Amino acid sequence: MVIEGKSVYSGIAIGKLEIFHKADKQVKRSRITDVEAEISRFHSAKEEAKAQLAALYEKALKEVGEVNAAIFEVHQMMLEDLDYVESITNMIRSQQVNAEFAVASTGDNFSEMFAAMDDDYMRERAADVKDISNRVVAVLCGSSTGSLLSEEPVILLADDLAPSETVQLDKSKVLSFVTRHGSTNSHTAILARTMNIPALIGVDYPEDVNGRLAIVDGYEGKLMIDPPLPVLEEYQKKKAKEDEKKRLLLELKGKENITLDGKKINLYANIGSVSDVASALANDAGGIGLFRSEFLYLESKDYPTEEEQFKAYRTVAENMAGKKVIIRTLDIGADKQVDYFGLEKEENPAMGYRAIRICLDRPEVFRTQLRAIYRASYYGTISIMFPMIISVDEVRTIKSIAAEVRKELKEQQIPYKEVELGIMIETPAAVMISGELAKEVDFFSVGTNDLTQYTLAIDRQNQKLDNIYDSHHPAILKMLRMIVENGHKEGCWVGICGELGADTSLTETFLKMGFDELSVSPSMILKVREKIRSIDTTN
Could you give the count of Cα atoms lying within 13 Å of 529 in the half-sphere of its Cβ?
Answer: 24
| Integer Cα distance of 61 and 67 in angstroms | 8
CB 383 within 8 A of CB 325: yes
Query: What DSSP string describes 9-32?
Result: E--EEEEEEEE-B---------B-
Annotation marks residue 492 as catalytic: no
| Integer Cα distance of 384 and 395 in angstroms | 12
Query: What DSSP string describes 184-206?
Result: TTSHHHHHHHHHT--EEES----
Q: Is the dihedral of CA 503, 505, 511, 512 positive or negative?
A: negative
Find, among 437, 442, 412, the residue nearest to 427 by Cα. 437
CB 42 within 8 A of CB 92: yes
**DSSP SS3 for 269:** strand
Question: What single DSSP character describes residue 344?
Answer: P
CB 75 within 8 A of CB 164: yes
Residue in 75, 187, 359, 492 annotated catalytic:
187
Rg of the chain in Å (alpha carbons): 27
| Integer Cα distance of 12 and 374 in angstroms | 39
- Kindly report the number of other CB atoms within 10 A of residue 352's CB atom: 15
Amino acid at 153: P
Contacting residues for 274 by C-beta, under 8 A, at least 6 apart: 185, 312, 315, 316
Annotation marks residue 75 as catalytic: no
Residue in 75, 359, 492, 497 annotated catalytic:
497
| Integer Cα distance of 469 and 472 in angstroms | 9
Find, among 396, 279, 234, the residue nearest to 10 by Cα. 279
CB 274 within 8 A of CB 309: no
Q: Which residues are catalytic?
A: 187, 497
